[in-house]
Each structure stands twice: as structure tokens, then as C-alpha cells.
Amino acid sequence: MKVIVNGKEAGTKETGCALCGGTWGDYYETVEGEKLFFCCNICAKAFINIINEAKKRFNLNKIDYIELRGNFYRGRNIEVKNGENSHKFYIKLSDDGDITEFKEID
Ligand SMILES: [Zn+2]
């Protein structure tokens, strides 16, 4: 899965946390069969929630591209792709990494 956070590739220790782009911390989680780097377990939990919610809402069996733009306070604009299929949405997260707001964007 290709992960872009605020315009830069992310998801490894070198490139940064797959949710926030932070390079501190040392937390790994396997998502969609791929080992991704996160700064902390909350970011990992939030990322997995986003993937699961997007798959459910858009009826996707797989996500191979995700682009996240924004931050905790502003919320995040997200684009996911499964092949040529693209879906855009906006989310806000709680302190615990739960999704508190989800809006589809066309
Ligand atoms: Zn993070």
C-alpha cells in the first residue's frame, strides 16, 4: 500500500508515521498484509479504523493507495484508491483514535 501524508510518502521509520508523518517513536502494525511504521499505537489504531471504515463505506475489498492531508485539529482529507477506483472523504478523530466524523467528498 502506498501511503502519502501531507504530500510525502510515509509508512517507514525513515519516511515517518503512516498517519501523522512523525519520525519519533517505534511502533509497527501490519495493515492489509504490509508492515507499516507508526509513531505510536494511537496513530496505528486510527489508521486501521480509517482503512476499515473506508472499505466498509465504499465496499472495497482492498486499498492499495491512501493519501492523507491535514492534522488532528483540522481533521483530515483522505483519498483511497483500489486500482483506478478513487474515493475521497473527510474525517476527524478522537484522542483515542476513533473516528468521530466522516463525510464523503465528491
Ligand atoms: Zn503518528
Cα(44)–Cα(19) distance, integer angstroms: 7
Give the pLDDT of residue 21: 96
Grid cell of 83 as nine digits: 486500482
Q: Are 95 and 89 in contact (CB under 8 A)?
A: no
Q: pTM of the predicted model, to two decimals?
A: 0.96
- Domain boundary assignment for the chain: 2-105
* Full pLDDT tens readout for the chain, 106 residues: 999 999 999 999 999 999 999 999 999 999 999 999 999 999 999 999 999 999 999 999 999 999 999 999 999 999 999 999 999 999 999 999 999 999 999 8
Distance (angstroms) between ligand 1 centre and the Cα of 104 equals: 23
Give the pLDDT of residue 106: 80
Distance (angstroms) between ligand 1 centre and the Cα of 9 equals: 14
